[in-house]
Amino acid sequence: MPVAESPVTIAVGDLQVSAVHARPENAFATLVVAHGAGAGMEHPFLSGFTRALNDDGVATLRFNFPYREAGRKFPDRPPLAIATWRAAMEAARTGASDGEPVWAAGKSFGGRMASMAVAEGMPVSGLVYLGYPLHPPGKPEKLRDEHLYGLTQPMLFLQGTRDTFATPELLEDVVSRIGSAASLEWCEGGDHSFAVAGKKRSAEETGASLAAPVAAFMRANG
């Protein structure tokens, strides 16, 4: 039986954003999940991902950034995105058990903003990146990595081998330089959306396929 989902409203200063919370019985951890730049929290990729995690014992809170809530296309600047992350983490802790690990995860932009928030002091038990945008497509010289090297929390990078936002050699070098806290798992043939050429599956199925390695990493590093 699917885990029930509950709508949540999160205050970010004078703004409000929508979120969806789901908590299975005997959850061992909570994962807060942010969307990427081009889609909101209701995208089938994210709903498939979080629902599969719920089935594996992980409570989830997925949320919108203010720009998406307002129907705008251009992502929020980092200060507002980071403030939203902080507010979402506080909301997640309110629904978690005492001492329960609370992790942060995000698709592309959402994951990058989570890492920047942690670099600025946001407490988390760990980080999960679903397609980290290491550089703009075709511009490997413009790396977005400087803030990552000071992070000590467990980090899982899930990345498609055909992702144009992260040249494999560059990402492998970044992860190795971060140190033992960081792990990298490749999704063979996956692009930035984890779609694999010749493999027909919905966005929901694609998102759900990433839940098992994430839950396993959280258990191993809880």
Q: Which CATH class is domain 5-220?
A: alpha beta
Model pLDDT, residue 24: 96
Model pLDDT, residue 197: 87
Model pLDDT, residue 43: 97
**CB–CB of 197/189 below 8 Å?**
yes
Model pLDDT, residue 2: 86
Residues 32-74 have pLDDT tens digits of 999 999 999 999 999 999 999 999 999 999 999 999 999 999 9
Model pLDDT, residue 89: 98
Which one-letter amino acid corresponds to residue 36? Answer: G
Distance CA 42, CA 131 (A): 18
Calculate the alpha carbon distances from 35 to 129, 130, 133, 181 in Å.
11, 10, 13, 24
Low pLDDT (below 50) residues in the chain: none
Instruction: Write out the two tokens for 168.
Output: 């494999």
Instruction: Write out the two tokens for 137.
Output: 């497509």
Model pLDDT, residue 155: 98
Distance CA 87, CA 89 (A): 5
Calculate the alpha carbon distances from 91 to 32, 36, 66, 81, 155 in Å.
9, 20, 16, 15, 22
